[in-house]
Amino acid sequence: MDTQTATGSMRADILVIGFGAGGKAVAAAMARRGKRVVIVERSDRMYGGTCPNVGCIPSKGLVHHSRQRRPTDAAQEWYERSVRKVQAVRETMRSGSFEALNGADNISVITGPATFVDPHTVSVDVDGDRLSISADTIVINTGSEPIIPDIPGLRASAHTTDSAGLMENPTLPGRLAIIGGGYLGIEFASIYRQFGSEVTVLDSAPGLLPREDDDVAAAAVAILTGEGIEIVTGAQVTEVRDTDTGATVTYRRDGRQHTIEVDTILAALGRAPATRGLGLDAAGVRSAARGAAEVDEQLRTSQPHIYALGDVNGGPQFTYIAYDDSQIVLDHLVGEGRRAVPDRVAVPHTVFMTPPLATVGLSETDARAAGHRVKVASRPVAEISRMPRTRAVEETRGFMKFVIDAESDQILGAALLCIDAQELINTVALAIRHGITATDLRDGIYSHPSSTEAFNTLLATAVPVGA
């Protein structure tokens, strides 16, 4: 259908605000059922959403290319080439997302910022003209945006960037400071150190990965520092000041003031729901923390015909959660209406350092605090004999850990810091969801050589711990 109508008004059965993973899934499914669907996306640079444009896909592409660089490859040339390759993939995915939906029957894509004028109507600025779109059902899928904290000089610095801006810049920073040691900060520290940057991570917490058990966190930190990444925890950044050659970052730690000189500062302190300018008040949609659209367990806002899915509803900020949100919404629009957010069990997470750290379920600390008598199976990857793939690809770093209920033999959680962890963790998550015991997983037959074979050896070492 036509991309957009410049002026006037449109009527739709379903209006989707935001072209992300969840919104486009709802749009495609409802259009196949004969519903008239309109998708509004603020920017033509964001067709497909955060993941393929400024998130998962370009960052994981850089993870891959950074690990391909040989010591003899010039760092700047290799990085610039890598950025071009990643951008080419992004452009292909972006155009593919747009063409797949805009070319479909019953779907129109409108490009421009949308603002609610009442609970059923939005006004869209299309190249300076106003277009009014009304719909019976509305899905908000506007995603999230980076948080730049109010640290003196940080926002004003010419050297401050967010992750999207950093990946767009073809110039490799010689000295990179990352403020924030969460998932994104750790991932980008690993990427840019491998490309050849000097990297310093400044985090206010007492240690990295505070939600993980101490042995898991220590193994991850050892890999990062072993690659030459400087990690400063307990650091409160107090000021950023531009200089003739870069920027000075000042921070306090243990009561003392410190400074570092850098070329680029990555603010990696999280993302907030993107609702500014959306006019939720005009729609009668209540807002929760940090501007998130408040939703119930079926992702309905305070207006029952308006749903909010993905990052904008304040839930976990992962593409696969946004997609699962779309399945909940579709179940309520055209299904049995039974699915709800609390149905989610054993949702995995991955920190894409190298090797990746993937986790699911309870840590040992949390399991014991919850009253479980636990068994633990844990080993450094280098000591797991039945994991030959690690030796074949020369990546024996890491640590694997399972937490098991001592009475039922049910798997409570796992932390896998190893090659292929982002894939292995899905098998573990499936086992938890379907009640497959640790013994079942231990005695499974796995292809060879594969990383999954480690389960045979590792789970045979489970021993009771604690009281």
The string of pLDDT tens digits covering residues 208-236 is: 999 999 999 999 999 999 999 999 999 99
Residues 384 and 403 in one domain: yes
pLDDT value at residue 1: 40
Q: Please check whether residue 139 lies inside any domain of the structure.
A: yes
Q: Answer yes or no: is pLDDT of 434 > 90.
A: yes
Could you say which of 269, 290, 318 is where a domain stops?
Answer: 269
Residues 16, 138, single domain; the answer is yes
Question: CATH number for the domain including 395?
Answer: 3.30.390.30
- Of 269, 285, 318, which residue is a domain's last? 269
Last-in-domain residue among 343, 377, 397 = 343
Average pLDDT of 128-146?
96
- Are 100 and 238 contained in the same domain? no
Range of the domain at 317: 8-145+272-343
Please indicate, yes or no, if residue 419 is contained in any of the structural domains.
yes
Residue 355 lies in a domain: yes
**pLDDT tens digits for range 382-401:** 999 889 899 999 999 999 99
Write the CATH number for 137.
3.50.50.60
* Tens digits of residue pLDDT in 60-91: 999 999 999 988 999 999 999 999 999 999 99
pLDDT at 6: 47
* Rounded Cα gap, residues 125 and 138, in angstroms: 18
At residue 53 the predicted structure's pLDDT band, cuts being 50, 70 and 90, is: confident
Q: In terms of domains, do 172 and 104 share one?
A: no
Nearest to 441 by CA among 351, 360, 350: 360
Residue 14: per-residue pLDDT: 98
Question: What is the structure's pLDDT at 40?
Answer: 97
Sequence-ordered list of residues with C-beta below 8 angstroms from that of 108, at least 6 positions apart, any chain: 1, 2, 3, 4, 5, 10, 12, 37, 38, 39, 102
DSSP for 269-280, written as a single string: S-EEE--TTS-H
Per-residue pLDDT reduced to its tens digit, 157-205 = 999 999 999 999 999 999 999 999 999 999 999 999 999 999 999 999 9
Instruction: Let me know whether 22 and 69 are in one domain.
Output: yes
Q: What is the pLDDT of residues 250-307, one digit of tens each?
A: 999 999 999 999 999 999 999 999 999 999 999 999 998 789 999 999 999 999 999 9
**Residue at 152 is within a domain:** no
Domain co-membership, 285 together with 398: no
What pLDDT is recorded for position 467?
Answer: 57
Q: Are residues 253 and 299 in the same domain?
A: no
Q: In 141-255, at which residue ranges do the beta strands (DSSP E only) sit?
A: 144-146, 160-161, 175-179, 198-203, 230-233, 236-242, 247-253
Domain shared by 77 and 124, yes or no: yes
**22 belongs to a structural domain:** yes
Torsion angle of the four alpha carbons 282, 284, 288, 291, in this order, in degrees rounded to the nearest 10? -20
Query: Is there a domain that residue 361 lies in?
Result: yes
Q: Are residues 198 and 315 in the same domain?
A: no
Claim to verify: residue 64 and residue 109 sit in the same structural domain: yes
Whether residue 151 lies inside any domain: the answer is no
Total number of domains constituting the chain: 3
Query: pLDDT tier at 48 (50, 70, 90 boundaries)?
Result: confident
**Which of the residues are catalytic?**
448
Q: Does residue 154 form part of some domain? A: no
Q: What percent of the chain has pLDDT over 70?
A: 98
The mean pLDDT value of the chain amounts to 95
Same-domain pairing of 174 and 213: yes
User: Do 12 and 135 fall within a single domain?
Assistant: yes
